[in-house]
Amino acid sequence: MRMRQLAVIDLGSNTTRLIVMAYAPGEQYKLVDEIRERVRLAEGMGPGNVLRLPAVRRAVKTMEMFAAFCRAHGIRRVIPVATSAVRDATNRAALLAEVRARAGLSLRVLGTREEAHYATLGALNSMDLRDGYVVDLGGGSLQVAEVRGRRLVRSASLPLGTVRLTEAFVRSDPLDNGDAKALARYLREAFAALDWFKAGDGKQLVGLGGTIRNLAKIDRAERDYPLDLLHGYVLPAESVRGSAARLQRLPVARRAQIAGLKADRADVILAGALAVRALLEHSGFEELTICGHGVREGLFFEVFMQGRSRPLIPDVRRFSVLNLARQYHYEPKHAAHVAHLAVRVLEQLDPDASDDERALLWAAAQLHDIGMAVDYRNHHRHSEYLLLNGGLDGYTHREIALLALLARYHRGGTVDLAPFGRLLRRGDEARARRLAALLRLAEYLERGRHQVVRDVQVTRRGGALRLRLLTRGDASVELWDAGRNLELLEEAFGARVVLDG
């Protein structure tokens, strides 16, 4: 597939980022480069909202660099945007002109509603989100957006960015009680206006932005978490309260001892943690799910989904599975047929299987062989690695762990859930074993990768399961290889299995 390249530059109030996406419109995309620079444009803006000269200089220099980078890479399509700090600055015109003159970039200044729109788009196209809220905490502002049926229905922008709050309220180090109380009161009052921002049935809370991601990293480091993923990470309110209290006790200079904390956020993270704590208190959510995509990806998705009235990926999970599979050059026919056979047997052996189980089996069938891109030998283990590290959107971490297990055990071995222990639920051990057994059966029935076994009919006779194969052509390889790999199937379903060609 011929891939195009697109860069998005986001001049934020704290950090400034460049991302480069390679993509085939509507079909496939992949992040291929990223540069992050702490410009801290909002530094010293104060209540008068004036960009300070040193901050402007840093911003212009970084924009020049990013523009040079895009030129060097031959990236012609560049989308440069600016958010809160520039939007609010009384002297923004001078900055915009200088960036245009020096870097050749015409910054698009996003309005608050546009910012919420793109942030929400980034989340909707990378998460399994229908109803709830997307909060995006930046250096300059906090955007709160409400989503119903995958549509943005309203949004608000609050002046609660981490740099801004820090400069206005964090005057002592460690923060003394008086300052802390003043900030808490200010936050409470700011949220009070958002009476529509409340937890409720079926609503999800999704969090974006560097500060929120960093709070999740701190939590993850404390919990000895089994996955190295942030996107989809569930951050408990309890942990935010704990981090806020801990950060408040420690002076900035001693925060380096906190595992997971990024050094260049050590100063502003306290105000950020207090803002997140306040928004959780106000809304009543007990947890917040981290999204790794935001405004930048939203801007990209608008281009990627061009031609659609709404730039929404119809089924994020399905898209993400196929996006990953294509990236590693899977064999679509083989994968589809393994899925077909595995689901066929599941439906007959266990008519009460849930849609979720069927969906997991389908996804595992698409992805079980991607590890062959690493090496044929041990490709089941490489598939597991790629599944855990390649970025699968729309799935919970528990589901990603289950998919990794199915891929890991699709050829042989005794299913061992220990590496993912805490992520899994009651019943997941039996579930993983049953689904892995079905995937393994289907894989061996597709050993020649030629769809020679068309269907399987399951009957029970006495204690035994009889699998009758409907074939076209010579299925001797399949019969033989499936026949010598029935152990897990017999164990998982507690019955002797007889294959019948």
Q: Can you list the alpha helix ranges (DSSP code H) found in 193-268?
A: 210-223, 237-249
Interaction of residue 375 with its own copies, rule CB under 8 A: yes
Q: State which of residues 287, 481, 490, 491 lies at the interface with its own copies (CB under 8 A).
A: 481
Q: State which of residues 4, 5, 26, 35 lies at the interface with its own copies (CB under 8 A).
A: 35
Interaction of residue 228 with its own copies, rule CB under 8 A: yes
Q: Can you list the alpha helix ranges (DSSP code H) found in 104-236?
A: 112-124, 162-169, 177-192, 210-223
Start-to-end CA distance of the chain, whole Å, equals 39
Q: State which of residues 3, 25, 27, 34 lies at the interface with its own copies (CB under 8 A).
A: 34
Segment contacting its own copies by CB under 8 A, of 33-41, 108-116, 151-159, 262-270? 33-41
Interaction of residue 389 with its own copies, rule CB under 8 A: yes
Interaction of residue 68 with its own copies, rule CB under 8 A: yes
Q: State which of residues 184, 199, 303, 372 lies at the interface with its own copies (CB under 8 A).
A: 372
Q: State which of residues 4, 5, 33, 312 lies at the interface with its own copies (CB under 8 A).
A: 33
Q: State which of residues 302, 385, 398, 417 lies at the interface with its own copies (CB under 8 A).
A: 385
Interaction of residue 326 with its own copies, rule CB under 8 A: no
Secondary structure (3-state) at 85:
helix
Q: State which of residues 172, 306, 354, 378 lies at the interface with its own copies (CB under 8 A).
A: 378
Residue with smaller CB distance to its own copies, 51 or 386:
386
Interaction of residue 76 with its own copies, rule CB under 8 A: no
Q: Could you give the CA distance from residue 411 to residue 433 in angstroms, rounded to a whole number?
A: 13
Residue with smaller CB distance to its own copies, 77 or 377:
377
Segment contacting its own copies by CB under 8 A, of 5-13, 70-78, 154-162, 345-353? 70-78
Query: What is the sign of the dihedral through the CA atoms of 328, 329, 331 and 332?
Result: positive
Interaction of residue 487 with its own copies, rule CB under 8 A: no
Q: State which of residues 24, 32, 417, 498 lies at the interface with its own copies (CB under 8 A).
A: 32
Question: How far, CA to CA in Å, does 141 sit from each of 14, 85, 156, 296, 354?
Answer: 10, 8, 10, 16, 42
Residue with smaller CB distance to its own copies, 312 or 373:
373
Residue with smaller CB distance to its own copies, 172 or 476:
476
Q: Which residues contact 435 (CB under 8 A, 6 or more apart)?
A: 342, 346, 357, 360, 361, 364, 402, 406
Q: State which of residues 4, 30, 358, 454 lies at the interface with its own copies (CB under 8 A).
A: 30
Long-range contacts of 46-54, Cβ-Cβ distance < 8 Å, separation of 24 or more: 46/167, 47/168, 48/90, 49/88, 49/89, 49/90, 50/89, 50/90, 50/91, 51/85, 51/86, 51/89, 51/91, 51/92, 51/95
Distance in Å, CB of 374 to its own copies, minimum: 6
Interaction of residue 336 with its own copies, rule CB under 8 A: no
Distance in Å, CB of 368 to its own copies, minimum: 15
Distance in Å, CB of 82 to its own copies, minimum: 20
Segment contacting its own copies by CB under 8 A, of 148-156, 158-166, 424-432, 477-485? 477-485
Interaction of residue 194 with its own copies, rule CB under 8 A: no
Q: Could you give the CA distance from residue 363 to residue 251 in angstroms, rounded to a whole number?
A: 47
Interaction of residue 374 with its own copies, rule CB under 8 A: yes
Token pair listed for 251 = 């002076």
Helices 316-327/355-367 angle, 10° precision: 20
260: left (phi over 0), alpha (psi -120 to 50) or beta: left
Distance in Å, CB of 30 to its own copies, minimum: 7
Burial code (b: 16+ CB inside 10 Å, e: under 16) for 441-453 equals bbbbbbbbebbbb
Secondary structure (3-state) at 422:
helix
**Per-residue binder mask for its own copies (CB under 8 A), 427-456, x = binder:** --------------------xxxx-x----
Count CB-CB contacts under 10 A for residue 26: 14
Distance in Å, CB of 20 to its own copies, minimum: 8
The residue among 75, 56, 55, 62 whose CA lies nearest residue 103 is 62
Q: State which of residues 373, 458, 495, 498 lies at the interface with its own copies (CB under 8 A).
A: 373
Q: Could you give the CA distance from residue 287 to residue 20 in angstroms, rounded to a whole number?
A: 31
Secondary structure (3-state) at 21:
strand
Residue with smaller CB distance to its own copies, 241 or 381:
381
Segment contacting its own copies by CB under 8 A, of 62-70, 142-150, 425-433, 453-461? 62-70
Distance in Å, CB of 94 to its own copies, minimum: 22
For its own copies, how many residues bind (rule: CB under 8 A)?
39
Interaction of residue 263 with its own copies, rule CB under 8 A: no
Long-range contacts of 267-271, Cβ-Cβ distance < 8 Å, separation of 24 or more: 267/166, 267/170, 268/14, 268/139, 268/162, 268/163, 268/165, 268/166, 268/211, 269/162, 269/211, 269/214, 269/215, 270/166, 270/170, 270/175, 270/244, 271/162, 271/165, 271/166, 271/169, 271/170, 271/183
Distance in Å, CB of 391 to its own copies, minimum: 6
Residue with smaller CB distance to its own copies, 91 or 327:
327
Residues in the chain: 501
Query: Interface with its own copies by CB under 8 A: which residues?
Result: 30-35, 61, 64-65, 68-69, 71-73, 228, 372-378, 381-382, 385-386, 389-391, 447-450, 452, 474, 476-477, 480-481
